[in-house]
Structures are given as C-alpha cells and as structure tokens.
Structure 1
C-alpha cells in the first residue's frame, strides 16, 4: 500500500486524458511525447485497492482456457471484450476480424468516426489503425508489432495478470474521450505515470522516464 511516505504532487494528468485536438474523423496517429509525472500517495492507495480486487485473467484460445499470467501459449493478440471475456488469436488480423462479431457496437464507425483496422483496409502489422476504434492497445515492440493486448472497458489493469508486465513498448488510444494512465510500480517510492491522450499513438522508447531513461518495458499497470 506504500503508506507513510512523502506525498508527491500529481502533475495535471487528467488534462492529457481529455484534451485532444484531434477530431473524431481521424484515426489515431503518432503523438507528441505524453505527459509524465508521479502519482500521489492518496492516488496510489486508491489504485492499489482496485488492483487488490483483480483476479487471474483466463482467456479463450483455440477453444481452450489459458491463464495469461503463465504465458500466452503462442497467441499474438488478446482482446478483452465489453462483457469482460478475453479472447486470444494467432494473429492481430484474426483478432480484428473477430471484433466485428464480439464487439460490433465498438468497432463500427459512426458518422465517419475512427475506423477499425478491418474497415480501413490497413491490416498490415505496422498500421497504427491496427488498434480498432473504441479500444486501448499495447504492443510488445515499439513499431506496433509483436504481441498485442487491448481493452475497451474502463478499469485498472494489472499487467502481470495479463502476461505483459514490463513488456510494453508502444500504445494507442483509439477513442474520442479519455485516455489512459500507464504506471510503473516501485516499492517504497512514488510510482511514475505516463498519460496517453485519446486518439494518439506513442512509442515508449521515445518517452522520457521521470528519473532518467525511457518508458520502454516499464509499464506495470494501467488505468483507463
């Protein structure tokens, strides 16, 4: 719970979650460096209480149930659909195609809003639109390749439960409102955060870490 340490002010992170100049007609694109800072003790206490309620993440992959914390068993893309169920696939393309039936209300573009990867015709492994409209995505590699993990519902995600702790090198927030806060958990020290704004994509090796270095492979949990 990290109680009893000096309170560290939180930089105005929420402004980065809602203040995006991009319009709903644009797909996410590379963005300027996101805001970074340190979570306050009160905020961390709140987040830790939420994380304490987390449960093992059991996904369906090739008709079988797997615990993502113990490995993805060869899967390359995993999605948590609005119902809370998690599905994994051999390729990101298969995951995108499945979203049309698993979460049609999210992936269907409305009034020219952001397109899903399938609708845009850009299913290539380096296309930023591989993060379908309505979703928040993380990638294993900074060029938006490798394993991909994505969510649509809000919540605090313990990346260790998802088999993704200290393994994220890029992220996209492809929705019109609110972004995501990525944290690095540090015992006895304030947890740094990185604020990913809506309708933006970020390469973590290009984002400065508050105490030096970069955010590459430092994400431990995320609030969205």
Structure 2
C-alpha cells in the first residue's frame, strides 16, 4: 500500500486514463468477467494532482453532519445520492425508507439505459440474491465477503477515494448494479504501478475470490473505486 496517499476530489476524469484490460469509463459494453491491470504514468500523475485538491466527505447522519474520514459513528449504510449529498443510515431498511425518491430516479435512469441497450429492464446482477440489497442503478461496496456489514453506494460516476469514506483496505464485496460502465478498484502502491481490477457492469463479486497481482486476493486491498 502507498503510505502517503491522502484524499482526492471526486471526479470522473481519472476513469478516462485508467490503463486496464477493461476501462471503467469506456464507451463500449463491459466484458463478462473481471479484468486486472494497472494505472499508467499519466493516470498516476493525474491522481496525485487530485490528492492535492482533496476535500473531506461530509455526510448527514441522524440530523447531524459527520466527516466520514473520521468514522461512521454507528451508521451502517452511507449513500452518495444523485444531488451529490451523502446520507448515512442505521440499517438497510432505514436507507430504503429514506431514499424512495432517489432509488426511483436512479432505477428509472438505469432502465432507460437498459432499454436503449436492448437489455431486460431491471435484470438481476450476476451474483447471489443478497446483492439485490444494491438497488438498480447503484454501485455498492460491502465490508464483508457475503455482501454484509457496512455498505457504501454511489449512483454518479467519478473516482471515490475510499480513505475519505473510512473504507480504505476494508472492501470485501462489490456490486455494479447498472447496465453500462463497470467499476475499477485501485490499490495504491509505492515505487510500482498501482494494481487495478475492473468489475463489469451488471455483476457482483466476493473480492476474496479475485486474485491479486502480487499474490492473495483483492479482499481488503482497494484504496479507490473509479466508476
């Protein structure tokens, strides 16, 4: 892991310069299996510039503002909604109840994209039924390998520095429940290219099953997610 990395601004630009076997920001459909790769020099240079422009992730939880980099204070689900706000909840049930309008808007957009691509509306991700906790149109990360524990979710593209979300080296499951554009996990490394793993759109994975280039698996390895 890279020892001196700090947060960087959320932006879609990094996804455009990721050098992987399957770019998360590509205009073509994602492949049917994860693809490993690495950031190139240009991507690393751009990411370093974004580090300098880092801003904390401030979320609303129980009516108060909290800095997620300093901990979740008991929250179990945190979501970056389409407006750009970040909202945290005590449970999946509370999140579903509070995000009715947001979930409907994200699902509608996803289904419009599916229709344009000739896909079945609302088709399930290629994974276990528990991945359905990640609603249509969202990208989700879980703390545990069985799609449980604390969960982060986003609907808008960009590069998410997991350190800013108190999730660095803590992701064990991922679900990209959208019809187009996958997500790329990145591990910051010192003195060598940053390993990456591209997860196809419409799929979910237990990260303990995905091999890591330096040995072992992607469990608790991700420092950032580009989507």
Instruction: Give the TM-score band, short-chain normalised.
Output: 0.7 to 0.9
What is the Cα deviation at residue 20 of structure 1? 4.3
Find the residue that maps to 1:198 and give its secondary structure: coil
Q: What residue is the counterpart of 1:41 in the other structure?
A: 41
Q: What residue is the counterpart of 1:114 in the other structure?
A: 122
Given the alignment of the two structures, is residue 194 of structure 1 paired with residue 188 of structure 2, yes or no? no
Q: What residue is the counterpart of 1:90 in the other structure?
A: 90
**TM-score w.r.t. structure 1 length?**
0.80
Question: How big is the alpha-carbon RMSD for the aligned residues of Structure 1 and Structure 2?
Answer: 2.6
1-structure distance, mates of 2:75, 2:218: 25
**TM-score w.r.t. structure 2 length?**
0.79
Which residue, 143, 146, 149 being the options, matches 2:152? 149
Given the alignment of the two structures, is residue 222 of structure 1 paired with residue 225 of structure 2, yes or no? yes
Given the alignment of the two structures, is residue 165 of structure 1 paired with residue 141 of structure 2, yes or no? no
2-structure distance, mates of 1:137, 1:48: 25
1-structure distance, mates of 2:129, 2:36: 26
Which residue, 13, 17, 40 being the options, matches 2:22? 13
> Kindly tell me: are residues 208 and 89 of structure 1, through their superposed partners in 2, closer, same or farther at Cα, counting changes over 3 Å?
same
How many residues matched? 200
Q: What residue is the counterpart of 1:204 in the other structure?
A: 207
Q: What residue is the counterpart of 1:75 in the other structure?
A: 75
What is the Cα deviation at residue 97 of structure 1? 2.6
2-structure distance, mates of 1:143, 1:134: 20
1-structure distance, mates of 2:191, 2:102: 41
2-structure distance, mates of 1:78, 1:11: 28
Given the alignment of the two structures, is residue 184 of structure 1 paired with residue 187 of structure 2, yes or no? yes
2-structure distance, mates of 1:201, 1:150: 13
